[in-house]
Amino acid sequence: MRPSVIRVNYGIQRSDGGGMAMRAVTMLPCLIGSWKELGGGLQLSTSGAFGLNTEALKMPELMQNPWDVPPASSTWCNWAAHSTL
């Protein structure tokens, strides 16, 4: 028998009867015995399981403006201030 895992998220309990649905889903690994196997059972979230380097994802070097072009919002403000409409 291969281990089986159920990964639930935070949406199941946000509906009518969601609490009872979550309890029923939680019992499935108990009924088939997969909670005893390595890699089996139930998982709510994997967000803390891996070390994610969020600073490396931000890449601040891409935020630099190599052509010194002002952002669109400041261009609009300058145009609006000098407009003769």
Q: Closest by alpha carbon to 38, among 1, 83, 84, 85?
A: 1
* CA distance linking residue 43 with residue 8, whole number of Å: 6
- Contact present, 45 and 11 (Cβ < 8 Å): no
Residues 18-59: tens digit of each pLDDT: 889 888 988 988 888 888 888 888 888 777 777 778 788 787
pTM reported for the whole predicted model: 0.47
* CA distance linking residue 14 with residue 17, whole number of Å: 8
Residue corresponding to tokens 């889903």 = 25
- DSSP 8-class letter at 26: H
